[in-house]
Chain A
């Protein structure tokens, strides 16, 4: 059942008004006005989102709410509307984006309290929310792409928010360019779909329309699926395009929480799940997604173990967790991927906000080697961060436990034993690096700069309230997805099933056994972290010297950045600088133009000698000419 629901337009109009206000009036009207309007429009959108969700829940499963703004592109039989569509999947994403987004906006009020550029900051943040909501609510692939590009732009603007620092500006460009590579794949994917459909006389890019005609795709499903997934690896930071995300951490911390943890980086997962009818047609594409996801997940977790920068650990952790989401989608359990998107938005958003609170308290310090023993001074931050850490470590009962368990169980029962094993090992690594972060930051002796130590203070209420709200969700958010047959069962997956389809296990396995194995890995990670960083404080140093080479490789992030620099960036510079610029442009094109000019000039040099300035020479030439003309006529007459 599809119903018109005009209130949907408000969800996009409200952030748009926020952008316009902050851009044109914000700086003039002052901080108070911006602090009210910036988060206010997002909270209002959140309220509309809840209303929408209630409306959708009152309708039978599989129904959708739609609203068409106007016809956007019309070309013969092909037309694309600027239209929004809410079904179960986009409703869930809508609530995540507006819910987590509004609390992060509230937190930003405190975090940016000392920054001069607050109006620009909130304009960008509102613009990001607008783009993300366009992405989530789009009813066709082209409009989704508009949102997809919009969030990429806002990500760039906010990473390079403090643009006077050249390194920050560079990292912003890096994120933008890495995303361009992926987006090229996305565009090619869209074109593949349009082209394939059009050869069968079908002109559509709406998700509903494509789903209805998916049978026409054939081998194009694999091609388009892989190209679109390339876009997803850029946006969602998977191998091979993940390199921008760790460097994106130079932006303000609420930005990291909102864009680079809770919402934008999960856009790729949302896209894959949205197009599940396409991917279901192509087992090879699914296999590629699952393998890349599991490898990325493991790879990023190993790097996270040794990083000293608190936000960088969280960045690699995000890459790793997104790997889990893609793993769920790649093995066919699409709903489990979205479930992890949701719980991850809660606990990873919270982790970033907590790290922001720590950084705020330490006046910009991000190196965990200069922290320690902070739990007494930052009790609320410590408590909420511990909850989030237990959630990401999949400690039984916390939200991450349910979602990660569902993904690992799906991986195993779909017959991907090795990917499951990798996932379990990664779960152990996850709790290891997360508790390393907790222990190094909050426990043990203080290694804080003596100068800064007396000024450490808990963050203001406007920052801690979002922490507490998100902590409640990080703690309890998983309980709507209990294993089937236990209490109320998995409401979440049942709600999504009309969109994502039902996951069919091919291998029987005891869910409880699998869960115990995964939980054991997680708890083992916590114990190892406790031994390393609390019980035997000298041990990490000893291991570092013992496994020096291996440690350096991890600390150097497997030298992937250096590898890309050597084999992609520099050859590109060589091709465009030496070969194309010097060779083709300067020598070839400029050479042709300049060569013509030089030839004409040397010809003129020869000819100009005729111009002697002596009038008698001219007269003589005139006489010759006159005689020639006369001779010609005489010749004509005489003939």
Chain B
């Protein structure tokens, strides 16, 4: 028994929205990074669901790429956050405001 595609898409959209809200509202950089992961995985879910629905593996191939990029992104992002924390003793993005007028 397969779940209808609409369930999959609604779930993915919900996860994506949670991710967006997390990035926009949370001040903690690590939480923001996690929220980004949420958005990426929401997209992955869409790919997989549609791939199954359409009977094509193209979507699943792209998911591998996305996961690779996400892994790399997480590595770089965490490294930046660690070095920022060493400088400021904080991971609060409000306090990283050097790049402005």
Which residues of A are at the interface with B, using a C-beta cutoff of 8 A?
Answer: 608-609, 611-616, 619-620, 623
Contact = CB atoms under 8 A, between A and B. Distances in A.
A500 B86 CA distance: 103
Interface of B: 20, 23-25, 93-94, 96-101
Contacts of B99: 613
Given A613-B101, A616-B23, 11 more contacts: A609-B101, A611-B100, A611-B101, A612-B100, A613-B96, A613-B99, A613-B100, A614-B94, A614-B100, A615-B93, A619-B24
Contacts of B96: 613, 615
B97 A620 contact: no
B71 to A, nearest CB: 22
A77 to B, nearest CB: 68
B93 A614 contact: yes
Nearest to B36: A619
Contacts of B100: 611-614
Contacts of A611: 100-101
A324 B101 CA distance: 81
Nearest to B27: A616
Contact of B98 (A609, A613, A619): A613
B93 A620 contact: no
Nearest to B23: A619
B29 to A, nearest CB: 9
Contacts of A620: 24
A614 B20 CA distance: 16
A609 to B, nearest CB: 8
Nearest to B20: A623
B28 to A, nearest CB: 11
A610 to B, nearest CB: 9
Contact of B93 (A608, A609, A616, A623): A616
Contacts of A619: 23-24
Nearest to A613: B100
B23 A614 contact: no
B43 to A, nearest CB: 13
Contacts of A623: 20, 24
B60 to A, nearest CB: 25
Nearest to B99: A613
A615 B23 CA distance: 10
A623 B24 CA distance: 9
A197 B38 CA distance: 92
Contacts of A613: 96-101
B18 to A, nearest CB: 14
A616 B24 CA distance: 6
Contacts of A616: 23-25, 93
24 contacts: A608-B101, A609-B101, A611-B100, A611-B101, A612-B97, A612-B100, A613-B96, A613-B97, A613-B98, A613-B100, A613-B101, A614-B93, A614-B94, A614-B97, A614-B100, A615-B93, A615-B96, A616-B23, A616-B93, A619-B23, A619-B24, A620-B24, A623-B20, A623-B24
B44 to A, nearest CB: 19
B47 to A, nearest CB: 18
Contacts of B97: 612-614
A614 B97 CA distance: 6
A599 to B, nearest CB: 19
List 6 tightest A-B contacts by C-beta distance, closest first.
Answer: A613-B100, A613-B97, A608-B101, A611-B100, A611-B101, A613-B99
A619 B100 CA distance: 15
Contacts of B25: 616
Contacts of B20: 623
Nearest to A616: B24
A290 B93 CA distance: 96
Nearest to A605: B101
A612 to B, nearest CB: 6
A620 B20 CA distance: 9
A350 to B, nearest CB: 83
A252 B94 CA distance: 83
A612 B100 CA distance: 6
A611 B99 CA distance: 8
User: In the complex, which of the residues B25, B94, B100 has the most CB atoms of chain A within 10 Å of its own CB atom?
Assistant: B100
A498 B94 CA distance: 103
A73 B68 CA distance: 79
A409 to B, nearest CB: 92
Contacts of B101: 608-609, 611, 613
A623 B25 CA distance: 13
B76 to A, nearest CB: 15
Nearest to A618: B99
A608 B99 CA distance: 12
Nearest to A609: B101
B99 to A, nearest CB: 5
Contacts of B24: 616, 619-620, 623
B49 to A, nearest CB: 19
A619 B27 CA distance: 13
Contacts of A614: 93-94, 97, 100
A223 to B, nearest CB: 67
User: In the complex, which of the residues A609, A612, A614 has the most CB atoms of chain B within 10 Å of its own CB atom?
Assistant: A614
B48 to A, nearest CB: 22
A235 to B, nearest CB: 66
Contacts of B23: 616, 619
Contacts of A612: 97, 100
A614 B99 CA distance: 8
A616 B23 CA distance: 7
B25 to A, nearest CB: 8
Nearest to A614: B97
A528 to B, nearest CB: 90
Contacts of A609: 101
A613 B96 CA distance: 8
B88 to A, nearest CB: 14
A3 B101 CA distance: 85
A620 B25 CA distance: 10
A616 B99 CA distance: 13
A609 B96 CA distance: 17
B94 to A, nearest CB: 7
A250 B100 CA distance: 69
A614 B94 CA distance: 6
Contacts of B93: 614-616
